[in-house]
Structure 1
Amino acid sequence: MRASEAQQADSAPAQGESRAPVRADQAPQTEARDRFDRESPARASDSSRAMQEREQGDRRVPPAEQQGQQGRMQVPVETRTVSQQSRTPEPPAVEMPPDDDFAWFDDLPSHPGTEARGEAPEPPSIQTLDWDALSERVAACERCRLCEKRTNTVFGVGDRNADWMLIGEAPGENEDRLGEPFVGQAGKLLDNMLRSLTLARDTNVYIANVIKCRPPGNRNPEPDEVARCEPYLQRQVALVKPKLIVALGRFAAQSLLETDASISSLRGRVHEYEGVPVIVTYHPAYLLRSLSDKAKAWADLCLARDTWLAAGGVPSNAAK
């Protein structure tokens, strides 16, 4: 009991010292230090947590968005609106053309299709050509394969204002060489036939062929060759404006009349081509081989003369 009392006596002054009064000037500092000691761990933890969140946010938000967010946080709404309005570009002084203004096409060629393709312009129609242009077109014609082996094209000869127009089949060897229809023995016989009617090759008579190039070996022209060459003859008839046409030979008669009938069945009647009366007779080359048919040919020429007079023809001794 004495030992315990002695310990209590020794500890009493120590407790008394801890309960010693604190001066007034030391009390606030002591309390603040006590609060700091208590709050320091919490603040440290809060600040470290805030830094971690900020670092995570920085990793999630791109720098551009961080700047935008900071700018929006720092700039008031009114100031931001004014700055946006101030950055709006003013309208240009020069009036801009509308979207559908195609003025920039003005420098383009007016017909770009033909120039872009590099194609030559379409030649004028045969039915619009005059004599000179038609003759040049025939001379340069390549509409069918007959152009490959020809020597000359045979356009036609005679009076271009004639009442009589004589049409044969196609050029022969002599015609291809000289470029003139009905030469040689057949041509001489034709001249005699015309003389019997007081006509001549160059007086009130124009002579042409259905085909302007010689077929190889003097063969008959093919239908496609006739079709490609006929527009030239049609234009010649339109330019001459004859009062009468005499078809010389079977092929010429069948081509003009578009028929397969024989020449014997076509003779002795008046036909028509392009609105012009047509008389059918034998070819002079055939008459050279068949002299007995010359009388028939003379009868055909007499029918032709009567038809011409009925169409308003005037005999050469009274007019041309």
Structure 2
Amino acid sequence: MNKIILLILVTIFSSFTFLRDDEVTFTAKIENRNSDTLMFKGGNQFSKIIIADKKGVFKSTFKIEEGFYQMYDGKMYVQLYLKNGYDLVLNMDAKKEYQSITYKGKGADENNFWIKSLIDSQNYDYKTLLSSEEKVFSKLFEERKVEVLASLKGKSLDKIFADNYSKETEQSLNGLKAYYMQTLEAKKLSGSMSPDFNFENLKGGTTSLADLKGKYIYIDVWATWCGPCIAEIPFLKEVEKKYEGKNILFVSLSIDRVSDREKWSKFITEKELSGIQLLAEADWKSKFVQDYKINGIPRFILVGPNGEIVNADAPRPSSPSLIELFDNILK
């Protein structure tokens, strides 16, 4: 769950950029590094690769648009704030990940604050928050909101950084609240009969939910442009292999636009995806998607042999609780 929260923060902040003059100098000293290259991604399709020198140090000077960026070291992502004029030095032990990150030089204050906020998000008990009754959730949510925003007080940080951190953190927390409300709605659906669908099948023709009656159906609502969806693919493959021949079918329901059918088809072929591959006829506006009140993906749904909803918000393939669930129902 904490990874979901981090992903919400990453997605929002990485889109903010502001034009500045001159350049930024960035240096990284990484123990136990995962690769000899660092890749930077940011707003306005910014992309840059820095290669380690003979001493294993990464260093480069380049023009940047002020904002939040993602740095990928071959295994993990690090979010940082860059601004022209910064002379920023990152120190990290890749084996210890976020906990080991410290910054020195110009721009260190903003980035040390930022990494501290990410670690705080990792350590916060979002599981308890999201499993609370609605009244308790509202109380805990407001307390968390005040706590996060209050962390800026008394800090001498770049004004653009502080303003956007405040604004977008509030937005991300509101996204968390929307996720909670979606979960509540999903719980209300469990036990009722599932809405039907009749979507294009990659192998030809169309497939409806009624066509699959008689077995459990694990539905993955996803899209080729959805990073978290793609991250679940290796786990989904493992689960499909584990339960091959059992009384369960795996359906991947894409909400890519119909105009992107070729991209969808090519992605499935290249990634060697199995299961039943379907394409919704109206992406987010498809009746099945709206009946399940899906406003975020990936979303996993488990339907029973008679068409009843077992779980309208089922565990992800990467969650150990999914195996527990399947082992219980497929005895």
Structure exhibiting the larger radius of gyration computed from Cα positions:
1
Q: Which has the higher strand share?
A: 2
Q: Which has the higher helix share?
A: 1
